[in-house]
Every structure is written in structure tokens, then in C-alpha cells.
A and B are shown apart, each in its own frame.
Chain A
Amino acid sequence: MADIAEPMAPPMVAASEWRGDLSIRIRRGAEYVAIPLFALVVSAILFSLFLLALGKSPIQFFQLVHQGGFGTAFSIQNTLQRAAPLILTALAVAIPARIGLVMIGGEGALVVGGFASAAIAIPLVTGKASPMVALIIMAIAGMIFGALWVGIAGFLRYARGVNETISSLLLTYIGIATMNFFVEGALRDLTNPNKPSTMPIGDAYMVGKIPGTDVHWGLAIGVLLAIVLHILMSRTTFGFAVRVTGGNARAALAQGIPVGKLIVICCLIAGACAGLAGFYEVAAIQGRANASLVAGYGFTGILVAFLARHNAIAIIPVAIMFGGLVASGGLVQRRMDLPDATVLVLQGLTFVVLLVSETLYGRFKIFQPPITADRT
């Protein structure tokens, strides 16, 4: 590289002043925490008004949520149990979000993955395979089918430009219908007259608990996956390419980044996470596949991912918080005589407030590195 002509102007800033870099990052980080928290507070206030309008006490509500979700060792374990699938379904939203996709098919992938695990368990259980082997095969089947489900939406997007949000939502309905079709037909366990289900896998084949707790291993795996995926996205060349693509696909193409391949890979990872959640629901909680798999974890996961700003690490605490909300649902319902859907109202409110709060980024001076002060 040949020299450039005499400087036209000295560099604006001396190298020593670049220490400000750190403060820029800290302030940005603070903004990402403060605004979602603010959104949470606002939605809690709005929800309180809603409760008041129903003639119920908001204070009692939040007390019950605290008690039912976090009050006792038992409730905390219950909460964590529910946080496990939420971490995984939130990852299923967050990973595609990094490449610029709004993928909301986690519910479908969870159901299909769970069903696939339960279905493949039938020959394994009847053939008396060793539990370890059976569980690994079931987990892999769940991940593959979950991956397939979100992967289809990703592929349609890449190959045909089909809107991934719509297609993943529709695929969710197809997934649920497919499970019902088999559960009520070919794979129905006829010994169970109450609820159409697949054959129970039996206690010997259930996933164990984390030692010393009543929480299944899915939580540990979820946390581990969140950490691994966070590192993948922020510290590897793969993640860098994904971020470039998500930020400007045209520029990514011009840099020779294989955009289509990355889109499909991100969707496969996402689907595998949700499918794994389905596996744990079957192999650690339900013991079989039936309509209980359609518990809304996939949809709550969307909210968790958005609150966590698609940051895999932040997903962990947010998922635990919402796990607590879900866990306390029964208690709230019984004590306050509120309908089942009340918690959904809170979630819906939070989601709307959160989306509105997206417009607040960059508006508060304290979060701006002095350098980008008051950009509009």
C-alpha cells in the first residue's frame, strides 16, 4: 500500500482518548437493561389498572405471584422447571432474530419435537433399549424434527422469499394438527381412555432430576445452550457473519458471506432448541405426547426473547421470571378467582408495551456515549 499524501488534517482524536470506548459499551449495555425494565414496570402498572377494573387487588396479585413463583423452595423449583422450556423456546426466537428474521414458530417446533421424541420412544421402550441410549435417541429425534420445522420456514424465506413470520406461525398450526392426527389415530395409546396420548414412556425412561433438586436436567442444558450460543454469536466468525447479514444483507452478499446458508443454519439451530424443549416436556414432565404439549411455552418464549433483546445470556433471568409467572398461575387462579387467561393478559400487555418501548432507544442522554449525544 503506497503512502497517502500529506495529512489534510490530523486525526481528530489521539489514541489515548479511545479509552472512552469502554464507557460507550457500558452505557449502551445500561440502556439495554433499563428500557426493558421500564417497559416491565409500565406493563405492571397497566395490568394493575386492569385488575382494579375487575375489582381485584393488584397487591394481592403480585404477592401471590411472588409466593407461587418464588416464595418457597418448592415454588422456586417449580418456577425453574418451567423456565427450562422457556429458555429454549426463547433461544428459538433470538437466534433467527440475530440474522434479521422474526421467527415465531417455537411453539410448533416444540410440539413437533416433543411428539417425535414420544413417537420414537415407542419402539425403544417396547424393545427394552437401555434408558440412556433411548433418551439420547429421543433427544436427537426431537431436535431434528424441531430443526426441520423452523428450518422449513427459513428455507422458504431464503429460496422463495416467503415471509418467515407468517410461515412459521402457520407451520405451528400444522405441527399441532399433525400431532393431534397421530395421537388421536395411529399412535393413540388405547389403554388410556381419558385423553388421547401416545404410549407412556414409563418411569424408567424419564429424564432425571438435577441432584439435590426437584428440577429436571433440561434447565441445566438450557442454561448451557444459552451460554454456548451466546459465545457462538458474539465471539466466533460465524456469529460475526450472522450479525453482518442481520444488519445489512446487501453488504453481506457483497462480502461473499453465504447469506442463504447462514439463514438456514440459524433456523435449524433455533428449531433444534425448541425441539429439545419438546423432548424435555415429554421425557421429563408428561411422559407422553398429548395436547398438554401445547402449553404456550413457544409463545411465551417470544416475549422472553424480545425482553432479553435477543441476548442469549439475558434470556436466562427473563425466562426464570416468566417461569415464576407461569408457575404461580394456578395459585392466582384459585385464590383470586381469576380466569385462566389473566396471565395471558399480562403477557400481552407486556409485549405491546415492550414493542412501544423499542422507540425509546437513543432518546435518553444518560445512556448515550457523550459522542452520539442526542441523536434522533
Chain B
Amino acid sequence: MNVLTMPSPPAGDAVRAYSLKTIGVSKIFGPLTALDDVSISVEAGEFHALLGENGAGKSTLVKCIMGFYSADRGKVLLNGAEAKIANPRDARANGIGMVYQHFTLVPSLTGAENLVISRADAPSIFDWKKEKAGLEAFLNRMPFRVPLDVPVSALAAGEKQKLEILKLLYLDQRLLILDEPTSVLTPGEADEMLGLLRGMTQRKEVSVIMITHKFREVTAFADSVSVLRRGRKVGGGKVSELSVEDMARMMIGDTPIRDRAIRADRAPGDVVLDLSALYADDDEGLPALDQFNLKVHAGEIVGIAGVSGNGQSELVEVLSGQRPLKDGRIVVKDEIFEPNRKSYAKLKIFGLPEEPLKNATVPRMTVAENMAFRTFDQPPSAWLGWWLSVGPMRTKARALIKQYRVKTSSPESAIADLSGGNVQRAVLARELSGEVDLLIVANPCFGLDFASVAEIRAQIMEQRNRGAAVLLVSEDLDEILDLADRVAVMSAGTINYVSPVGSTNRAEIGKHMAGH
């Protein structure tokens, strides 16, 4: 499939999109049936959403379609005919492409280079002039553009995600599978991208299967939906005929979800976290924190809002010892903060960083070991502070797995084998199972289903009600308005607006987010 000699743009109403059906797909991982007889159907040119709680089997299903896993039973029909897909290369040759939750582009290459090298028939020597002309022709047929001559690392998240999609279209894929494609995007970016895809499905250029946890995206962009629950397909249909409540009920059955956490009425206590005049650089050596000041009191949640890239992740990294502080003072409960285990334990500082698999776990260590990161050097996990007691460590992990309902086949599984949401839960279990005085949280609900979101927010609120000081950095303004006592807006590495949540509004916050 040479893209450059590909037939010219679709003429008239030619349907280029492919239809796909799975029939009775089952996938078994040892004691765990991850998929049980799942049949879904996606018409040509349909925008199909795949819903389900964390660990329901959504990623496993699309991985079976893509040939990452071989299904134990069942088959996949492409355009009505059985497709034999043994590996992702076959999938690609069959016109099925996937956008992953994490970017797969080569950051140091330009967009154009990324597109061209991704081709199966990429020659060993490129005639760049010819390639550029080919790309130009290709882009002219596309509904959207991305700057192709700058390194990918210089693109914003939304542009990168668009480039991922362009790549699939460039490879002439007719069925696009997207696994939580918007979790790294702002709502604006997400809407733009999904809108473009919707346009393409309406013109029958591609079909789309999208995994998501956001009902808003389903109702706004999808035509039809399938809902998985504990590996079974439990419902679905036309989005126009279903309400959000219907879909939610299918996802979790009639197990009650946790009520919204109640904010206990309490006066803020003493200052727990005092950040004064912090300065720090980003990876490129440019100032990321620039005279950053903030205080967080006991029994209070301070939410930091802001457009991403204004120093929020650097702030969290500084507070978790991952980035050196250039200047300034971090004081926790009247003590100068040192990012070492002693002060974490003594001052009871805990954290839920974003992207837990990357920031808070060792993917190839076991669930039990990962859950012991906080306590491995304290009794009963450690004996004389030196000798590791594996027994108590495993017992503790089992208790936490049960209490936080982490879905794993065994405490000895590698944590990388857990579903995205369950990695988050495992980290949560580790960080919230003790007594917490200071909690630093960054985008805690990325990639979580709505029931888990409710639960995690309730737990954060509970910690606050108990008297913990909570610093919540979130790109989701709703989350901040829901949880925080005070909101602080971060822009260009500094706080330029602080207000109690009760006496401000979105417009006011938005104005300061834009840097005014």
C-alpha cells in the first residue's frame, strides 16, 4: 500500500470507511476472564464509543482487534469477511490503525519525518523533495493541518494527538481505534479533535472506535455505544436513544456509587505548607516557577487552576523531589522541607502524581512491591530498619488490594499488567492508607471511570475533613470547583489570583488563567 500512488481523494459519496464486527471474542488471562463472549458491531462510517469501568476489558478488546493479543475464542469481521489479524502489522495492512493513550511519535523528528518513516514501505533512502510533495498533496485532502516541519517535541499536546491521527490517515487506515485519546488534551483541544473525526465519519471516510470515560464526549460525538462490564458486553445502542443515566447504569449495574463527599464545616487550621518565592527551571532551562507563593492550611483544599504548561507540573515535581529548587523556601509545619524519606514519614506528606505508571511505580516490580514503597523500610516490612520481611509486606498488599478493590490477578503480578485505572487505585491505596497531614495531588482522575472518580474525590475530601492540608493541581476546572476551598490561578510560573471558591466564578478564573 504505497500511499503516494494511492487513489486520489474519494469521489462523491464513495464509502471508504470499513465496518467491523467482533463475534464472541473471549480473552482469558490465567484465573481472570478479561473478555467473555463480546460481540460489538461498528457500521462503516460510524463513530462508536466503548464505555466501561476501569478494568472492564476495553483496552483488552481493542488489543485483540489490533492483534496485540490473540483472542482465545471469537473472530473479527472486517467489511463482513473474517479478518485474520495475528499482530499489529496485519492490522495495519488491513486498514485498522490505533491511537494510544500515550504518544508514539518520535519527539526529535519533525512531523513530516514521523509520517514518512511510519510507512511500511519506507525506502532506505528518502527523496525528500518527492516526499514533501506527496505530503503536501495528502495534507490538501485533509480536513485539518498540523505544522509538519518542526520537531514533534515542540508541538502542543492537541497538535501531537492530531498528528497521530494524521499518521493513521496517511497510512490510509479506514478504521481508527482511539484508546482514551483525550485524556492528555484540554476540553477545547478534545472537542476540536473529536469534531474533526466526527466530520470524517459523517463523510464516510473512516469509522472510529473510541474508548472513553467521558459521557460528554459520547453524547456529543458518538453515533452508537457499547458498554462492557467485567469482561461482558452488557448493553449498547444508538446514543440518541440512550440517556447518560442509562449508560451509567449499564456500566456499573445497580451497585450504588459513592455519594458526593460532604464538605465538613471547619475553620482552616494552621499553615501546613508554606511556599515562598519559589524559582525553578524546566527541562530546557527556562524559568518554570517564577516567584511562586502559596500557603495551604490544615483542613483545606487549595486547587491550582491554570492552562497546562504554566509551571504546574514543575511545581509538583519540585514538591516531590524530582526537580531541584533554584531558590525559595518550602516550609512544612514549620520545618524546612527536605525531599527525603525521613521527612516524608515524619511530616506525613503523601502524593498522587499524574501518570502514576511513569511517576509513582516501577512497572516491572510486582503490585505488592509497588504498594510497599512507603513502608518498606519501616516495621513490620523491615526488621531493624534493614532486613526486608516479605511476608508482612505481602499481607499488607493483600489487605490494601481488597480494601481498595484493585483488580489484579495476584499481588505478584507486575503492576504494568494492571488496567490504567487500577494502577491509579494501587497508588492511591499506598498513599492514602496511612495518616495524612499534607497531600499533594495532580490530576488524580485522569483515565478513571465515573464511579472511581466519585470515590477518589470523596477520599480526598475525607482527608481534608480529617484535617489534612491538600494541594490539588488539576486541569479540570470542574474538579477544582467541586473540591477546593480556595482556588489559586497559576500563570507563567506564578500565582496571580487567589480566592475562596464561594466568592468567585468561572469567568473570573478564566480571565486570570489567560494571564490578566
Contacts and interface: CB of A to CB of B under 8 A. Distances in A.
A13 B339 contact: no
A239 B372 CA distance: 14
A247 interface: yes
Contact of A253 (B30, B321, B410): B321
Interface in A1-34: 1-2, 4-9, 11-13, 15, 17-18, 20-21, 24-25
A263 to B, nearest CB: 15
A12 B359 contact: no
Interface-centre pick from B364, B388, B402, B417 (highest chain A CB count, 10 A): B388
Interface string A230-258: 00000111111101100110110111111
B410 A255 contact: no
A143 B282 CA distance: 40
B71 to A, nearest CB: 11
Given A1-B433, A236-B386, A237-B388, 12 more contacts: A5-B258, A5-B259, A11-B401, A12-B31, A12-B408, A241-B376, A247-B365, A248-B363, A254-B320, A254-B322, A255-B374, A371-B417
A257 B376 CA distance: 11
Contact of A24 (B369, B373, B413): B413
B351 interface: yes
A372 interface: yes
A166 B386 CA distance: 33
Interface-centre pick from A235, A237, A241, A247 (highest chain B CB count, 10 A): A237
Interface stretch (B146-154, B162-170, B192-200, B340-348): B340-348
A240 B410 contact: no
B405 A11 contact: yes
B387 A236 contact: yes
A370 B409 CA distance: 10
A17 B87 CA distance: 31
Contacts of B362: 243-244, 247-248, 251
Given A1-B432, A237-B385, A247-B362, A371 B341 contact: no
B409 A11 contact: no
7 contacts: A8-B451, A9-B407, A251-B373, A255-B373, A255-B374, A370-B31, A371-B417
B361 interface: yes
B255 A9 contact: yes
Contacts of B342: 256
Interface string B409-444: 111111001000000000000001110000000000
A228 to B, nearest CB: 14
Nearest to A244: B362
Contacts of B31: 12-13, 17, 20, 370-371
Nearest to B340: A256
B211 to A, nearest CB: 19
A12 B255 contact: no
B500 to A, nearest CB: 26
A376 to B, nearest CB: 5
A373 B340 contact: no
A4 B359 CA distance: 25
A5 B407 contact: no
A247 B363 contact: yes
Nearest to B374: A255
A21 B321 CA distance: 34
Interface residues of A, number: 45
Given A251-B360, A374-B70, A18 B53 contact: no
* B: contact size bracket: 35 or more
A79 to B, nearest CB: 35
Nearest to B251: A8
Given A6-B255, A372-B413, A374-B69, A20 B361 contact: no
Interface in A117-138: none
A375 interface: yes
Interface in A47-96: none
A369 interface: yes
Contacts of A6: 255-256
B322 A253 contact: yes
Interface in B291-336: 320-322
A256 B29 contact: no
B458 interface: yes
Contact of A18 (B376, B410, B455): B410
A370 B398 contact: no
B133 to A, nearest CB: 36
Contacts of A241: 376-377
B388 A239 contact: yes
B51 interface: no
A219 B322 CA distance: 42
Nearest to B67: A376
B388 A4 contact: no
Contacts of B414: 372
B404 A254 contact: no
Contacts of B386: 236-238
Contacts of B365: 243-244, 247
Which 9 A-B residue pairs are closest in the complex by CB-CB distance?
Answer: A247-B362, A371-B30, A370-B30, A5-B258, A256-B341, A21-B412, A254-B320, A237-B377, A248-B362
Nearest to A369: B30
B29 A371 contact: yes
B138 interface: no
Interface string B91-102: 000000000000
B417 A255 contact: no
B350 to A, nearest CB: 10
A374 B67 CA distance: 11
A353 to B, nearest CB: 23
A338 to B, nearest CB: 38
A24 B412 contact: yes
B29 A370 contact: yes
A251 B405 contact: no
Contacts of B410: 13, 17-18, 20-21, 24, 371
A30 B31 CA distance: 21
